[in-house]
Chain A
Amino acid sequence: MADPQNANPTILNASDLPTRRRRASSDKTAQNGPGIFSYPSPAYSNDPFSQATNSKAESDSDSDSIVEPIDEQEIYDLISTISDPEHPLSLGSLAVVSLPDISIKPTIPSRPQSTLQTVTVLVTPTITHCSLATVIGLGVRVRLEQSLPARFRVDVRIKEGTHSTAEEVNKQLADKERVAAAMENGTLMGVVKKMLETCQ
């Protein structure tokens, strides 16, 4: 597979991929006790009969007061585990999708109170002539459309300079009718379904 025109030869290791740092738990361990052994604080919270009032002392992460907006890391987590149609590897570890290539912007900047957002994902195929670039783009698009609320518009493109027919592929992916027709194609849908099976 040593393809000289291979734009992306290396395979990334899972622990090097961008992940969200779990803010809540790490703060707690710093304050309350060591990670492996922590004992309940007041003796009476140990009580098997403790009533509802006691359990209201919940952490911030459990109350609705802190809103967690959908951000680029979340989009990345949604698509990085899609598997490549040819190999048993994920798009994230093949660096086909990467965090810097994802952006979220408001769809109508002139109207700040509108909640419509546009997600733009730039896909870098593994080989410059890769005929499966369209399929990969389609897979990403389907995944995002199934997983994001209606107010998000999805825009999937091939990254400039990484594919010989990037313009063509982008046109296809942006064309709603062609995408809809593709969704009717049983074989194509089968491939996409298999790609999405590994999503976590």
Chain B
Amino acid sequence: MSLYSITLWDSLKFEVLSAQEPELAEETLLVLRAIAACLATSTQTSSTASPLAQYLRPITKECIEHLQEPAQRQAKASGDILKSVSSASPESFNLVTKAVAAPITTIYQSSSEVAKHRALLQVFGQLFDSAIEVFGTWSSKRALANSENPLEAFSESLLEIYSQALMSTVKEEVSFRVAAAQGLQKLALISDLLQDNEIGMVIQHMNEVILREESYSRDDLKKTAMQSLAEISKHKSRLIMDITFPAFMAQLPDTDSEAEARGDYHTTLEGLAEVSVEKDVFDTLVRRLLNKLDVLLNTHNVDSPKYTGALLSTLLFIMERRGLQNDPNLEGYYDRVVVGLVSRATTAAAASNNLTALNNVTVLEVLGRVSNLIVRNASLDKKVTASANVYDLFSLQSGLERLSSAPNGSTLQSIWILSTWLLAAIPRDLQAPLLEAAKISVTLSSLLALIDTDIEPVAFLAISRQLALYINKHLPSSALDIATSWLTTFYNKVRLARGGQLDHGQADSEQSISRIVRTIFMLSKALILRLSPDTNAILRDLLSLLDSSKHPLPVNKFAASSFGGLLAPDAVLSKTNGAQIRLLAPQKVFQTLAPLISAGFKSSSQGDEKENYLTALSGVIASIPSDIVVPELPTLLPLLLQSLDLSDQRVKIATLETLAVVTARSPSALEESGHIPSLVRRLVKTASIPKSGSYKESEPDTPKARQLAVRCLFLMPGRIKGSGSRTNPLLPLKREVLQGLMKVLDDPKRDVRKEAVDARGAWLRGVDDVEDESD
């Protein structure tokens, strides 16, 4: 091998230096590396005369030559070569670095152009990469104990170069500073290279970049700095805690007024969250955040909830990311957050004094989620206590009675949010008095009576979710008829809505109709997701709400738009919270509803009713995986096409999204249906803005709909080609499409124009009458 190594190098180097094909270059680099690795295993007498040294000498010489002109393409190639060759073994790294580091530093210092500097920094960065490969990082040391890292001799000067590059350059030189930041990160990670105080300096630079500098273009530099800190914190969390933490925490405002005046605390919080991956840092951060919260809440800041909300959101984010299982501090969190904050919010709301930011609806939502997370991971007895407190909420002034009788406008109504989240955290099979079948039945009755009254939207939503939780999670299969009988009651209520004859004589009948319909859907959803034995009947009953001969128009409309929510993911009724969501539920829903919807659509004669069926269809399809939809496509496609003629944007967008997925994944189904011409024409029509003064004074579709329509057109040429004997179905449409899209090129919205440019390009290039076999 040693005989031929230099010859091999001579012939191979062109592949990398004047690379035409990237794959070839990569393979060549691997070969060069393998040669170096092989040579290193041979016995050597002195290091300067060994075969490895002989092999490396011409390589390093030539690379340095190329690096004299660092901005050229060959410089980058040289960097690649150096990296692959030096990463072969510690000896080769040694030799390469000794030969290369000093000359490169000289070139750097002798030049003054930024582009050259950047290229050189990147080459050094590649050397650092191979150092990490050879020697490992702080936490995964790799090399043998006796080999020294040759970079040590250069570490000081390198550190200085990089630090200067990062901190003393104008902010417009983004890529240069990013290269510097990345280099610093790698330097800090190489095991046993930098001293702690040197790494500390690196961390300080990153802190400054994140905290002190203003936002600039895409903030690439801040993101890189954030990532660097996160990486370093994995290895040197002590340093991060000592340096980064105080700096960031000092930046956090102490009061709400300060927070609002400055408005930049989000970056700081984000930075803190990013670096708190390790246990120690995480614990400290949680403690500090909770302390800050306490301080804020003592000022009764009910009118400025944003900062409190941000703090709680950060808490939620880091807890979710870390996962709280087996966390030794869990008990402490339970006491402080679940018991402490929840009871505080509740008592304040009940007494209507001492209100704090916690009583703001948004903040309550976040607090609910945090409590949910903590209780879910808590010990069994804590869960039992929590279940006993679902309505008391650790406060003597609460309880189901008080919550139910809270008047509108009282802050106590929003406390239902906390109640629901707490309930969601209770596991299905917990032995607790709350969850006994008889008690559930009683609770359901009270809740359902309450939901029919005129409570605030926030409370309505929370209570309806509680109903779903009880019915889906905790009701034993034998007792499901409780739920179905309640469903029947509500259906009866809906029937009474015919002709406005509601028995309560409420002023706002539209709201009460919508709530009744919603409740029906929520109860049905809970039952359907667990695939109760009556699922088919339940689905059919839901569909009957669309029938205009059975129910008046407002009911039809509300029902149509609620179908989308049946299978939609819900944060409360989710698998993480222990809900019973059977895997086959979507399939069952779709397979039952799709034929019924298309039958109903065909037999209907009124425009409004047809529209409702289409709305329902688009809602159902939105949450179903496409492989289930595709088999039914032949029957559904005519309906989807008609949906494109409607003016309801939500339906249109849902339909277009479905069509996009179908085109991308199962274009053959579209081809076989034979509907492509009418589909294409409708897409072009949706994408265009009608000329003013045309016959039909219709509103143009929203930009999103236009964009999606063009996107569907874009997807077609690559996938719909026609095969064998059939000609390409897109061919006769090509001219029409290109002309139609020409107008879209002048659309007022940039995103739509861009899609149109792409689509035109695709049709111009992709739809050809002659198959081109060459190139």
Contacts and interface: CB of A to CB of B under 8 A. Distances in A.
For the side of the interface on B, what is the size category?
Answer: 35 or more
B72 A9 contact: yes
Interface in A17-57: 19, 21, 26, 29-30, 33-44, 46-52, 55
Nearest to B703: A62
Interface string B202-220: 0000000000000101101
A108 interface: no
A34 B313 contact: yes
Interface of B is mostly: helix
B174 interface: yes
Nearest to A37: B317
Nearest to B321: A37
Top 8 A-B pairs ranked by shortest CB distance?
A: A49-B565, A149-B746, A48-B568, A48-B565, A34-B266, A13-B175, A67-B748, A149-B745
Interface stretch (A127-135, A170-178, A192-200): A192-200
Given A39-B309, A39-B313, 13 more contacts: A2-B69, A33-B309, A39-B369, A43-B417, A43-B458, A49-B561, A51-B514, A64-B700, A64-B702, A64-B748, A70-B753, A88-B22, A146-B757
A43 B365 contact: yes
Nearest to A21: B217
Interface string A92-136: 000000000000000000000000000000000000000000000
B184 interface: no
Interface of A is mostly: loop
Given A43-B365, A49-B522, A64 B313 contact: no
Interface in B361-419: 361-362, 364-366, 369, 414, 417
Contact of A11 (B71, B270, B522): B71
13 contacts: A9-B71, A11-B72, A26-B215, A37-B317, A38-B313, A44-B458, A49-B521, A51-B562, A67-B749, A68-B749, A146-B757, A147-B761, A196-B761
B178 A193 contact: no
A193 B703 contact: no
A185 interface: no
Nearest to A73: B750
Contacts, number: 150
Interface of A: 1-2, 9-11, 13-16, 19, 21, 26, 29-30, 33-44, 46-52, 55, 58, 61-64, 67-68, 70, 74, 78, 87-88, 146-151, 190, 193-194, 196, 199
Contacts of A10: 71, 115
A148 B746 CA distance: 7
Contacts of A13: 118, 175
A67 B461 CA distance: 38
B648 A52 contact: yes
A74 B754 CA distance: 9
Contact of A43 (B273, B461, B749): B461
B181 interface: no
B562 A49 contact: yes
Given A9-B72, A39-B365, A199 B700 contact: no
Contacts of B522: 49
Nearest to B366: A39
B766 to A, nearest CB: 11
B745 A147 contact: yes
A48 B570 contact: yes
B743 interface: yes
Contacts of A64: 700, 702-703, 748-749
Contacts of B316: 37, 39
Contacts of B740: none
Contacts of B273: 34, 36-37
Nearest to A52: B650
B417 A15 contact: no
A112 B258 CA distance: 50
B266 A33 contact: yes
B726 interface: no
